[in-house]
């Protein structure tokens, strides 16, 4: 690998390939007063976590709110297909329910799987988790520990339960042929000819045949890869639910290694003194609090109370968000012992999840009110929550400040931001067909290292190639996967954005609104499909936002020109992976094998 010491970069700079750093004015964060004017709809909407235009004067109005209510969707997948085949070439929309054929036969026999998971869970509980009665004392020490979730087992359990539930409630269900992705499922990896074709990974002794859900009508099969695999003969519909499979709520508890919900105070006290909690930000559904070195995002679910004017998410949706976060976690270089084909640390690390129940804790209420007084919250006061209310707490790494509020100081930081976001998307795209689909500037967090070192890099592996991106001391994390699409290897998780036309009705000319519309054009509303170009349009949006932030003569026309020409070139790329090969990134990227500071040409 080429040395990353200062002299190496100096060489690059001296060779004229790198632009000398320019220092411009510091763009200050928006003042509190600017955002607190409740009458100013636009300002309010953009400052406090909602990054979407607001059309309703009184309350936070998120374009994705109703989408989440309608629920994240999933299509199950089977191992063995070709990962690299261009998706969606022959893709059809999922057949309407009325076209589906009826099932024959009895209810699914899940006894084998139940026994299997009982065994796993008994082992997990024995090995990793003391009795929930001692939860508080147990969690005290958890703050610094890395909790490894058995993602393949969790996904398998979820698949079985979800299929079983669907069998009981729907005339038919869909299974999609697609690959198990070895770089995502850490214990797997068979790839022939380098990166082209993947086959099934970790052997869990469960298959479609095993679970007796082998009855898919030919015309009900859909695939994002244009490959349809016919599975057995149709079976009879309307079999009553026999209670064999776990509910989403039970599965959530299992993922959290809990036998029952705990209180919010119990979770927070594992990470900090309760009096030190500070609210950091808010979204349509979540309130983010700093707890020691972590950030805890609290999302109420399953309750009847409207929160911020909206229905609460259901367990099923929360469970799928958890699965999505775990899949992205698995991209982290430090997860699983194996060398990964694709890895990066650019997505926020989800350290843990906890299911809670009860009224909002007084310490959280106090932190919430503090934030409201200083910055003006758009969300409902949490005092309304009753003792029955459930919450999921996402325990996250602290990613820093969102891009909208962050003061970009110099051109190096712009370079660093763009290369890190592009690289992370390229890795996730390659590993699990990930598309963020909502990468507005509230969902990109930046943290400045305390002692910034110009030689610091962010390392990642893309299709087996180890690379390093210069960070200039700025660490970038991508958050909020509510609208994201991912192939976990077991299922494709996506949100049917066509269910919310309002998302595409934002103000003409507004960059964010235009980006949703661009996605709609790209996908032709086949939201289940893989369209890496959606990542490209968010990168173009990001360049626009950076240009907006840099709007000052002090930054000079040259930088603006470079960014504008980057933007033009980006428009011709099909994926974040393509974008990463743009010459704009050559100065800040190093590939280990090639010993040269640039990517191979397109």
Ligand X SMILES: Nc1ncnc2c1ncn2[C@@H]1O[C@H](COP(=O)(O)OP(=O)(O)OP(=O)(O)O)[C@@H](O)[C@H]1O
Can you tell me which of 201, 442, 506, 597 binds ligand X, judged by CB under 6 A? 442
223 or 475: CB nearest ligand X: 475
> Residue 278 Cβ, how far from ligand X at the closest point, in Å?
11
Tokens of 291: 């707890």
Site for ligand X in 292-311 (CB under 6 A): 295, 297
Neighbouring residues of 385: CB distance < 8 A, sequence distance ≥ 6: 300, 303, 305, 359, 360
- β-strands 457-462, 465-470: how paired? antiparallel
Distance between CA atoms of 493 and 495, rounded to whole angstroms? 7
Does residue number 346 form part of the binding site for ligand X (CB under 6 A)? no
Distance in Å, CB of 72 to ligand X, minimum = 12
Show which residues are catalytic.
438
Which of 183, 477 has the CB closer to ligand X?
477
By CB under 6 A, is residue 348 in contact with ligand X? yes
**Contact between 281 and ligand X per CB under 6 A:** yes
Residue 319 makes contact with ligand X by CB under 6 A:
no
When binding is defined by CB under 6 A, the residue of 482, 488, 523, 575 that contacts ligand X is 482
113 or 480, CB closer to ligand X?
Answer: 480
Closest-CB residue for ligand X? 283
- Is residue 592 within 8 Å of residue 468, measured between CB atoms? yes
Q: Which string of DSSP letters, residue by residue, matches 447-501?
A: EE-SS--TT-EEEEEETTEEEEEE-TTEEEEE---TT-BEE-SSEEEEE-GGG-G
Q: Which stretch binds ligand X (CB under 6 A): 77-85, 107-115, 281-289, 334-342?
A: 281-289
Task: Rule CB under 6 A: choose which of 164, 445, 491, 570 binds ligand X.
Answer: 445
Distance (Å, rounded) from C-alpha 445 to C-alpha 454?
A: 20
Give the 3-state DSSP-derived string for 37-50, with helices as H, strands as E and coil as C.
CCCCHHHHHHHCCC
Given the DSSP bridges, would you call strands 465-470 and 589-591 parallel, antiparallel or unpaired?
A: antiparallel
Is the Cβ of residue 256 or residue 298 nearer to ligand X in the bound state? Answer: 298
Indicate whether 232 belongs to the interface with ligand X (CB under 6 A): no
Q: Which of residues 7-66 bind ligand X (CB under 6 A)?
A: 49-50, 62, 64
Shortest distance in whole angstroms from residue 139 CB to ligand X: 19
CA angle in degrees (0–180, nearest 5) for 205-211-215: 135
HSE, side-chain direction, 13 A CA sphere, residue 68? 28
| Residue 401 main-chain phi, psi, to 5 deg | -105, 145
Binding test (CB under 6 A) with ligand X, winner from 184, 288, 462, 545: 288
Hey, which residues between 545 and 574 contact ligand X (CB under 6 A)?
Answer: none
The residues in 378-407 that bind ligand X, with binding defined as CB under 6 A, are 396-399, 402
Q: Which two tokens stand for residue 268?
A: 């927070």
Cα three-residue angle 601-20-465, rounded to 5 degrees: 30
Q: Residues in the site for ligand X, rule: CB under 6 A?
A: 49-50, 62, 64, 280-286, 288, 295, 297, 348, 396-399, 402, 442-443, 445, 479-480, 482
């Amino acid at each position: 690998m080429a040395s990353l010491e200062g002299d190496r970069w100096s060489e690059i700079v001296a060779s004229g390939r790198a632009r000398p750093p320019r220092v411009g004015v510091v763009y200050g964060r928006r003042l509190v007063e600017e955002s607190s004017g409740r009458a100013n709809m636009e300002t309010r909407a953009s400052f406090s976590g909602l990054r979407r235009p607001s059309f309703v004067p009184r309350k936070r109005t998120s374009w994705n709110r109703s989408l989440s209510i309608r629920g994240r969707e999933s299509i199950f997948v089977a191992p063995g297909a070709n990962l690299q085949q261009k998706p969606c070439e022959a893709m059809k929309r999922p057949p309407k329910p009325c076209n589906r054929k009826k099932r024959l036969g009895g209810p699914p026999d899940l006894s084998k799987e139940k026994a299997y998971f009982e065994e796993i869970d008994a082992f997990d509980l024995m090995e990793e988790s003391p009795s929930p009665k001692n939860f508080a004392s147990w969690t005290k020490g958890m703050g610094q520990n890395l909790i490894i979730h058995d993602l393949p087992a969790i996904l398998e359990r979820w698949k079985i339960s979800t299929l079983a539930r669907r069998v009981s409630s729907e005339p038919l269900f869909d299974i999609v042929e697609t690959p198990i992705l070895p770089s995502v499922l850490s214990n797997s990896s068979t790839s022939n000819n380098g990166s082209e074709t993947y086959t099934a990974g970790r052997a869990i002794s469960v298959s479609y045949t095993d679970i007796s859900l082998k009855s898919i009508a030919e015309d009900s099969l859909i695939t994002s890869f244009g490959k349809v695999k016919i599975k057995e003969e149709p079976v009879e519909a309307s079999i009553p639910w026999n209670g064999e499979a776990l509910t989403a709520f039970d599965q959530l508890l299992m993922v959290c290694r809990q036998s029952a919900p705990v209180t919010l105070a119990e979770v927070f006290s594992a990470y900090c003194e309760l009096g030190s909690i500070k609210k950091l930000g808010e979204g349509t559904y979540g309130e983010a609090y700093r707890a020691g070195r972590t950030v805890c995002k609290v999302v109420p679910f399953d309750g009847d109370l409207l929160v911020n004017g909206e229905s609460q998410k259901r367990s099923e949706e929360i469970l799928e968000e958890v699965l999505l976060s775990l899949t992205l976690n698995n991209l982290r270089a430090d997860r699983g012992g194996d060398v990964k084909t694709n890895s990066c640390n650019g997505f926020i690390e989800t350290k843990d999840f906890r299911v809670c129940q009860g009224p909002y804790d007084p310490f959280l209420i106090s932190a919430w009110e503090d934030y409201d007084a200083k910055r003006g919250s758009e969300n409902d006061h949490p005092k309304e929550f009753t003792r029955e209310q459930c919450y999921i707490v996402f325990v996250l790494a602290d990613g820093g400040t969102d891009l909208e509020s962050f003061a970009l100081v110099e051109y190096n930081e712009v370079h660093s931001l763009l290369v890190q976001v592009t690289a992370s998307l390229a890795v996730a795209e390659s590993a699990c067909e990930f598309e963020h689909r909502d990468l507005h500037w509230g969902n990109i967090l930046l943290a400045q290292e305390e002692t910034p070192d110009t030689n610091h890099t962010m390392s990642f592996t893309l299709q087996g190639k180890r690379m390093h991106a210069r960070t200039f001391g700025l660490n970038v994390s991508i958050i909020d996967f509510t609208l994201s699409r991912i192939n976990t290897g077991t299922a494709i998780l996506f949100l049917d954005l066509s269910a919310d036309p309002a998302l595409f009705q934002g103000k003409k000319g507004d960059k964010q609104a235009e980006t949703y519309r661009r996605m709609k054009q790209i996908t032709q509303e086949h939201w289940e499909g893989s369209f890496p170009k959606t990542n490209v349009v968010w990168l173009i949006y990001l360049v626009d936002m950076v240009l907006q932030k840099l709007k000052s003569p002090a930054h000079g026309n040259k930088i603006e020109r470079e960014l504008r020409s980057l933007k033009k070139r980006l428009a011709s790329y099909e994926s974040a992976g393509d974008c990463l090969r743009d010459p704009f990134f050559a100065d800040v990227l190093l590939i280990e094998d090639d010993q040269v500071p640039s990517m191979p040409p397109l």
